[in-house]
């Protein structure tokens, strides 16, 4: 059995080297397909970074009336932090709120003069609340409005921010759905294109196949070299793509960093190098073997 296996691989390797035109075409198809799939993996990294950045900026603020002391607000903060949905809570005192407001409107002297004319700090202390997921704000807001500290809460700005939060939730879901759909389409295209390329290679070797059938070779022995060719083409395509993306990600990193404000594509690629290697190896050899298996099976059934 081991001898037969080695012979199949030797025949497949020799055929791969001999039929250079079909081999190059097959490898080229796999390079294109695996490049698209690798780009999708990198896109998921970029989109994940952007989604996390958006989540980090989305919060809900609960404003406390002047009747609430600082101790009361800090107790409310500790109670909110006990909620499993809550990631963190930041306390903003009246003084901090005023300093932020003044800094933000430094270029509007009329507004600052009006604020100064009031004579007192009209801003309220608040708690800025962030959750693990953007869809968890409903439960947190309900706890605020119905909890023991509700009498001290002047307002919660959730209703104003809810449309934005809903759009972000839809955007997150849409990005992941698009990524999954695109992965499926690319895998299907890879199988179909590789199938037709391998089928051409099989037809070019039909005389050899007929001779093998005449001498009593089994269908599996006939299939073996073509499966080996498919696996070799997929593996070679995977290696080419892997090393091709080293300079590509290095060149693209400054552009991506400017667009995303901080995402280093090259570092992400290096940190996921072995995962990408495993992914490309499995997908490349798997698609190569699958397309070869389907193509040779079809050919043998037609004969």
> Can you give the CATH number for the domain in which 124 is found?
3.30.70.3040
Which band of pLDDT confidence, cut at 50, 70 and 90, is reported for residue 156?
Answer: confident
Tell me what the mean pLDDT of segment 254-281 comes to: 87
CA dist 18 and 188 (Å) reads: 28
**Predicted local distance difference test score (pLDDT) of residue 298:** 66
Predicted pLDDT of residue 29: 77
Per-residue pLDDT at 115 exceeds 60: yes
CA gap 257, 26 in Å, rounded: 35
Q: Is the pTM of this model over 0.85?
A: no
Do 90 and 203 lie in one domain? The reply is no
302 pLDDT exceeds 60? Answer: no
Phi (first) and psi of residue 87, to 5 degrees: -90, -45
Which residues fall within 8 angstroms of residue 273, CB to CB, at 6 or more apart?
none
Whose CA is closest to 137, among 99, 171, 69, 89? 89
Mark whether 39 and 175 lie in a shared domain.
yes
**Do 47 and 186 lie in a common domain?**
yes
Tokens of 201: 């290679």
**pLDDT at position 132:** 81
Residue range 93-107: mean pLDDT, rounded: 83
User: Same structural domain for residues 297 and 177?
Assistant: yes
* Judgement on whether residues 46 and 176 belong to the same structural domain of the protein: yes
Return the minimum-mean-pLDDT range out of 33-47, 80-94, 258-272.
Answer: 33-47
253 or 288, which is more confident? 253
- For the chain, percent of residues with pLDDT exceeding 70: 72
The alpha carbon dihedral of 196, 201, 203, 209 has a sign of negative
Instruction: State which H helix or E strand residue 130 sits in.
Output: strand 126-131
From 160, 182, 207, the end of a domain falls on 160
Q: Per the structure block, which two tokens stand in for 215?
A: 């001498």
Q: Give the model's pLDDT for residue 2.
A: 54
Query: Which pLDDT score, from 0 to 100, does residue 198 have?
Result: 67
Query: Where does a domain end: 107, 136, 160?
Result: 160
In a shared domain, residues 68 and 145: yes
Gyration radius from the chain CA atoms: 31
- My answer on whether 290 and 215 are in the same domain is yes
Question: Is the CB of residue 265 less than 8 Å from the CB of residue 50?
Answer: no
- Domain span at residue 64 reads 59-160
Q: Is the pLDDT of residue 277 over 70?
A: yes
- Cα distance between residue 233 and residue 19, in whole Å: 12
Looking at the fold, whether 149 and 174 belong to one and the same domain comes out as: no
Q: For 76-85, give one letter per residue: b (16+ CB within 10 A) or e.
A: bbeebeebeb
Domain final residue, candidates 160, 186, 203: 160
pLDDT tens, residue by residue, 167-183: 766 776 777 677 667 76
Mean pLDDT of all residues belonging to the chain: 78
Task: State whether residue 154 is helix, strand or coil.
Answer: strand
Higher-confidence residue of 282 and 164: namely: 282
- Claim to verify: residue 187 and residue 218 sit in the same structural domain: yes
Average pLDDT over residues 270-285: 86
Q: Report residue 218's pLDDT band, with 50, 70 and 90 as the boundaries.
A: low
Q: Residue 42's pLDDT is what?
A: 86
Per-residue pLDDT band for 214 (boundaries 50, 70, 90) equals low
User: Are 207 and 271 part of one and the same domain?
Assistant: yes
Residue 18 above 80 pLDDT?
no
pLDDT per residue as tens digits for the range 44-92: 788 778 777 776 777 788 888 888 888 998 998 998 888 888 888 899 8
Who wins on pLDDT, 262 or 51?
262
* pLDDT score recorded for residue 16: 67
Q: Find tokens 């389907």 and name the residue.
A: 294
Residue 62 — φ and ψ, nearest 5°? -105, 120
Q: Are residues 286 and 194 in the same domain?
A: yes
Cβ-proximal residues to 109 (8 Å cutoff; 6+ apart), any chain: none
DSSP secondary-structure letter at 205?
T
- Do 184 and 72 reside in the same domain of the chain? no
Q: How many domains does the chain have?
A: 2
Q: What is the pLDDT of residue 26?
A: 75
């Amino acid at each position: 059995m081991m001898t037969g296996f080695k012979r199949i691989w030797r025949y497949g390797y020799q055929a791969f080297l001999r039929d250079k035109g079909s081999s190059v075409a097959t490898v080229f198809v796999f390079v294109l397909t695996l490049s698209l799939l690798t780009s999708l993996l990198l896109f998921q990294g970029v989109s994940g970074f952007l989604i996390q950045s958006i989540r980090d900026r989305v919060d809900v603020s609960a404003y406390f009336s002047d009747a609430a002391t600082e101790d009361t607000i800090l107790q409310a903060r500790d109670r909110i932090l006990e909620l499993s949905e809550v990631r963190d809570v930041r306390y903003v005192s009246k003084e901090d709120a005023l300093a932020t407001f003044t800094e933000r409107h430094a270029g509007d002297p009329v507004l600052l003069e009006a604020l100064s004319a009031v004579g007192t700090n009209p801003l309220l202390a608040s708690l800025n609340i962030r959750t693990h997921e953007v869809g968890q704000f409903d439960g947190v807001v309900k706890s605020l409005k119905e909890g023991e500290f509700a009498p001290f809460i002047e307002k919660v700005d959730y209703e104003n921010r809810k449309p934005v939060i809903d759009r972000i939730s839809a955007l997150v879901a849409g990005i992941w759905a698009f990524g999954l759909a695109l992965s499926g389409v690319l895998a299907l295209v890879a199988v179909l294109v590789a199938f037709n390329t391998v089928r051409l290679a099989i037809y070019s070797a039909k005389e050899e196949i007929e001779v093998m059938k005449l001498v009593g070779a089994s269908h599996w022995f006939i299939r073996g070299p073509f499966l080996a060719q498919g696996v070799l083409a997929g593996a070679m395509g995977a290696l080419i793509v892997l090393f091709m993306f080293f300079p590509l990600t290095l060149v693209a990193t400054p552009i991506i960093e400017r667009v995303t404000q901080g995402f280093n594509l090259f570092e992400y690629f290096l940190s996921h190098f072995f995962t990408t290697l495993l992914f490309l190896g499995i997908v490349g050899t798997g698609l190569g073997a699958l397309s070869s298996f389907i193509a040779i099976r079809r050919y043998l059934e037609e004969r």
